[in-house]
Amino acid sequence: MIRSLDELRARLREFTEVRDWSRFHSPKNLSMALIAEAAELVEHFQWRSETESGQLSPEERAAVELEMADVLLYLAQLADRLDVDLLAAAERKMALNEAKYPAASNRGAAPRKPG
Amino acid sequence: MIRSLDELRARLREFTEVRDWSRFHSPKNLSMALIAEAAELVEHFQWRSETESGQLSPEERAAVELEMADVLLYLAQLADRLDVDLLAAAERKMALNEAKYPAASNRGAAPRKPG
Amino acid sequence: MIRSLDELRARLREFTEVRDWSRFHSPKNLSMALIAEAAELVEHFQWRSETESGQLSPEERAAVELEMADVLLYLAQLADRLDVDLLAAAERKMALNEAKYPAASNRGAAPRKPG
Amino acid sequence: MIRSLDELRARLREFTEVRDWSRFHSPKNLSMALIAEAAELVEHFQWRSETESGQLSPEERAAVELEMADVLLYLAQLADRLDVDLLAAAERKMALNEAKYPAASNRGAAPRKPG
């Protein structure tokens, strides 16, 4: 069982090396594969209303979960390739977001989400 | 410190609720935000060669890390919204990939990566 | 005044050559730039409802028009690079769509758009 | 034969109305469909080198042309929905680019393309 992003990275690295695919996995190419997977996720939702996008049938849900997995697989491979600690980067970004959008001044204030 | 995807999801949920942003976070909208962040990652690499995409200056690298964080933040929020276990989904997807691309038959065989 | 896609292609070719940017414009790179611009379009709509996405202020509308222009600029440059007749390709694709989704059987039938 | 973007828009409008699909075609949704098609274009190039991306087999080339057509079809539908003159917007954007990147100062100067 994969219990952490670190384990996922190690599993993906082995998967890639055994197939001799490392030579295809430049950061440039991985970013392309990542956005292609993100688009497959978007495709599931493009003709649904916002409400319907939260009401997936079991089959649709299973498909959406695999698209989300694909995004994570390429993000983890990019992180491995560039040696990025994803959770640490996420924490840094959240701190920036907290400074940019202070809680008090935003609550209920905006009819529209900023950014 | 954020030590797991579960902790990240909890932190993001609180961040969103305090700002009253949950109403904007339909799966549809989150998938749009996710791909917009994926595109900012792509932008860093679009005019670089594959080799250059692995040779980032410290400033570029810090920016790329934050773009990767943004992708993870929206993926984690989507997972939270749809109640998806990302690592379990990743494991399911990896099993499918292992069945689809057996190691032996692929090694060094293809001049081009399939898929 | 630019009156056709052919004129647009010619103008873009000159713009690129004068700046010695042709060497950056591989189809691979142009596809990345194109999707990055498509994402900036998506960003305008991600926190709006479907209804709101049709109700743009004059400023927002001007910005959206320029994002749409950016998509067209890269699509036209890719067409120029690969020597693709965009209108002819669009006509071929429309014929395929007409065969795939016959009008009679689809009208009012589906609660959800297929594809 | 479709000879202009205006004709393409008219053909698409009819195609959509006959199928009763207008109700799905909010600008928000069309922007999602557009980026999903842009991603299918990216997918063709993600594991190819820049050089290979310009060396398509006849089959690959035909497929790429149809993906490019799909991007144009959604861009034209969005233009129709928002009543945007795409060529006029492209001309405005080109004027902005010419001001932003003057020819003389850029020629051969940059080892990397700006922007």
Tokens standing for residue D1: 């034969």
Reported ipTM: the value is 0.95
Total-model pTM: 0.96
Q: Which of D25, B24, A115, D31 minimizes the C-alpha distance to C42?
A: D31
* Residues above pLDDT 90, as percent of chain B: 88
For B49-67, write each residue's pLDDT tens digit. Answer: 999 999 999 999 999 999 9
What is the arithmetic mean of pLDDT over C82-97?
A: 98
For B68-88, write each residue's pLDDT tens digit. Answer: 999 999 999 999 999 999 999
Q: Which of B25, C55, B42 minimizes the C-alpha distance to D45?
A: B42
Q: Check: CB of residue C73 under 8 Å from CB of residue D115.
A: no
Q: Check: CB of residue B42 under 8 Å from CB of residue C56.
A: no
Query: CA–CA separation, B112 vs A22, rounded Å?
Result: 12
Mean pLDDT of chain A: 94
Question: Which of A31, A35, A49 lies at the smallest CB-CB distance from C50?
Answer: A49
For A1-52, write each residue's pLDDT tens digit. Answer: 999 999 999 999 999 999 999 999 999 999 999 999 999 999 999 999 999 9
Q: Which residue of A has its CA nearest to B85?
A: A65
Chains linked to A by 3 or more Cβ pairs within 8 Å? B, C, D
What DSSP designation does D3 have? -
Query: CA–CA separation, C68 vs B39, rounded Å?
Result: 16
Query: CA–CA separation, A9 vs A30, rounded Å?
Result: 14
Residue A54 contacts B where some CB pair is shorter than 8 Å:
yes
For C49-69, write each residue's pLDDT tens digit. Answer: 999 999 999 999 999 999 999
For D69-97, write each residue's pLDDT tens digit. Answer: 999 999 999 999 999 999 999 999 999 99
Tokens standing for residue C56: 């743009």
Neighbours of A62 (CB within 10 A): 12
